[in-house]
Amino acid sequence: MTATPTDNLTPADAVRGHWVTHYAPDWLKPYARLARWDRPIGWWLLMWPCWWSAAMAAANPPAGMPNLWHLVLFMVGAIAMRGAGCTYNDIVDREIDAGVERTRMRPIPSGAVSVKQALAFAVAQSLVGLLVLVQFNAYTIALGIASLAVVAVYPFMKRITSWPQFVLGLAFNWGAFLGWTAVFAAFGWPPLLLWLGGIAWTIGYDTIYAHQDRRDDAIIGVRSTARLFAENSHRGIGAFYVVAIAFWGAAFWMADLAWPAFAGLAGAATHMGWQVATLRIDDGSRCLMLFRSNRHFGWILFAGLVAAGLAG
């Protein structure tokens, strides 16, 4: 695969000083940007439900540490499948991206990568994800494959509903099932409740993210919860964060976890409260910072779950 050298501009939401900008060879940069390697928060958000679920399964009596090999696999899988999903999304959204200031310099609308090249890259990343998935038991493999149906329809949702963040939540939190089934090869209430809480969490943080594009989206007709909630976004995001905490608390209770899990949940709830309290919906840089802060949020919740396993 080859690419033209027209992708020299660093995307506005890319991590400053990232290795993709400074060290990646010119031929690789547009593909790295298709996969959002210079914006790693996406794969963190995809990975966290997997890690939470794995840690919750390990903390379920008899308690212990999460399987480290599973955590490595989930990280690699999250990076690969987030990249594949972003590439596919950019193929579908190439005309929309060309009309939005923040996205018009993405590799496809800018001409740095052709649609055929992007499609080949998406397939290559998906194969890496498949290689990761087949390391698990058959139950987990089947569940992982089932998630592709939700991934396939997500890019079209912003055209037909004001709730594309809900569909994103369905897909991005699928790992809430996989960490649990990788241990038990069976379903249960705890991963289902963890998934439902994750959906509410995603609606909250992606509404914050979508406020960066709210004005451009209104012009070109793209729908989102940021446009739907508008000036009521603080209340809307806060309500979904409360729902997330309630579902996660129920998941931990159903899994019979030790008290550190609930202490971690309290810390995570405090972080959510800080996000809502300091949100300025007309300040794009603030929205991006708060959105990225969910990486730290994930660590808080994960630390509580690991501590619960050790305490048990």
- CA 19 to each of CA 16, 35, 81: distance values in angstroms, whole numbers, following the listed order: 9, 14, 20
Pair of tokens at residue 255 = 């899994």
Pair of tokens at residue 296 = 């730290």
| pLDDT tens string 106-129 | 899 988 999 999 999 999 999 999
In whole angstroms, what separates CA 130 from the centre of its chain? 18
In single-letter form, the type of residue at position 80 comes to A
Give the whole-angstrom CA distance, residue 136 versus residue 141.
6
Contact criterion met (CB below 8 Å) for 67 and 181: no
pLDDT tens sequence for the chain (312 residues): 444 444 445 565 667 777 787 778 989 999 999 999 999 999 999 999 999 999 999 999 888 999 999 999 999 999 999 999 999 989 998 887 787 777 788 899 988 999 999 999 999 999 999 999 999 999 999 999 999 999 999 989 988 999 999 999 999 999 999 999 999 999 999 999 999 999 999 999 999 999 998 888 888 888 999 999 999 999 999 999 999 999 999 999 999 999 999 999 999 999 999 999 999 999 999 999 999 999 999 999 999 999 999 997
**At the topology level of CATH, where does 27-56+63-311 sit?**
Tetracycline Repressor; domain 2 (1.10.357)
| pLDDT tens string 4-32 | 444 445 565 667 777 787 778 989 999 99
Pair of tokens at residue 42 = 């996406």
Q: DSSP class of residue 23?
A: T
Give the whole-angstrom CA distance, residue 88 versus residue 272.
30
In single-letter form, the type of residue at position 174 comes to W
Give the whole-angstrom CA distance, residue 150 versus residue 164.
11
> Per-domain residue ranges for the chain?
27-56+63-311
Q: What pTM was estimated for this model as a whole? A: 0.92
- CA 35 to each of CA 125, 170, 263: distance values in angstroms, whole numbers, following the listed order: 9, 20, 35
| pLDDT tens string 209-229 | 999 988 888 888 889 999 999
Measured in degrees and rounded to the nearest 5, phi and psi for residue 41 equal -55, -30
